[in-house]
Amino acid sequence: MIFAANFKTNHTRSSTAAYLKQLAKTIAPKRAEDRVMVFPPATALDRYEGDFTVGAQNAYPVQNGAVTGEIGLEQLEEFDIRTILIGHSERRELLGESQEMVAKKFSFFKEHGFEIIYCIGEPLEVREAGEEAVKAYLFAQFEGIDLSYEKLIVAYEPIWAIGTGRSATTEAIASTHAALRSKVTVPLLYGGSVKPANITEITAIDNVDGVLVGSASLDVESFSEMILK
Ligand code: PEP
């Protein structure tokens, strides 16, 4: 299983360092085959010691240059960051990141050999329109994305389940992941209100190879509990 923590705009540089120091200790007894990933805010990127991978939540597809407010490859290379989240719904929805831009980022970081967690997910009105509508919406988010990329991980995160405390049902996750499995052979993560209370149920679903966790990952005890369950 893959356990990925997305801090979003939470934690500082010092609280991230304290968190990761603690995480390294608490996950020492984890199953050897499980992988842990943490995506802190850009200001907290650094080299950290522990059995986890630190990745970037976002970066602009440039080595460096005139892109005010963004970070590029150079700022990630400084800390040997080789993993990135691309396509998160908050970037698509709040920051207006188009499929074209998402695909451009994907190609750039693929060319540079990054491991990519590529996020997809539908809004509530699409979910309410039924399974076929969900599939069409999600498959459209694969436009311009090389699904055969060997360092790809796909994260399915229904937008209506993110940060709402309302996870998708086991049935909805199972059927959506089965549909995604017909398109990709890479690991499939589920994200959307994953927490200690539902982790066992979610990780037991067919075609779920891991989870991407927001809110419930902010506390190191809570995230560790999910990993060790
Ligand atoms: C996320 O946005 O990646 C996420 C899964 O958030 P939460 O766990 O808070 O729903």
Residuewise pLDDT in 10s, the chain (229 residues): 999 999 999 999 999 999 999 999 999 999 999 999 999 999 999 999 999 999 999 999 999 999 999 999 999 999 999 999 999 999 999 999 999 999 999 999 999 999 999 999 999 999 999 999 999 999 999 999 999 999 999 999 999 999 999 889 999 999 999 999 999 999 999 999 999 999 999 999 999 999 999 999 999 999 999 999 9
The best mutation among 38, 153, 194, 226 to test binding of ligand 1, ranked by most ligand atoms within 8 Å of the C-beta, falls on 194
Q: How far is the CA of 214 from the centre of ligand 1 (A)?
A: 4
Torsion sign over Cα 155, 161, 163, 165: negative
Residue 66 DSSP one-character state: S
Q: From start to end of 100-163, where are the E strands? A: 115-120, 152-156
51 phi and psi, to 5 degrees? -85, 60
Q: Which residues line ligand 1 (CB under 6 A)?
A: 6, 157, 162-163, 191-194, 212-216
Q: Active site includes 115?
A: no
2 phi and psi, to 5 degrees? -110, 130
Give the CATH number, domain containing residue 126: 3.20.20.70
Q: Active site includes 112?
A: no
Distance CA 128, CA 105 (A): 30
| Residue 102, burial from CB neighbour count under 10 angstroms (0-12, 13-18, 19+) | buried
Residue 31 DSSP one-character state: -
Q: Count, in order, helices (H) and strands (E) of the chain.
A: 9, 8
What is the domain count for the chain?
1
Q: Which domain holds residue 214?
A: 2-228
User: For the whole prediction, is pTM greater than 0.95?
Assistant: yes
Distance CA 122, CA 209 (A): 20
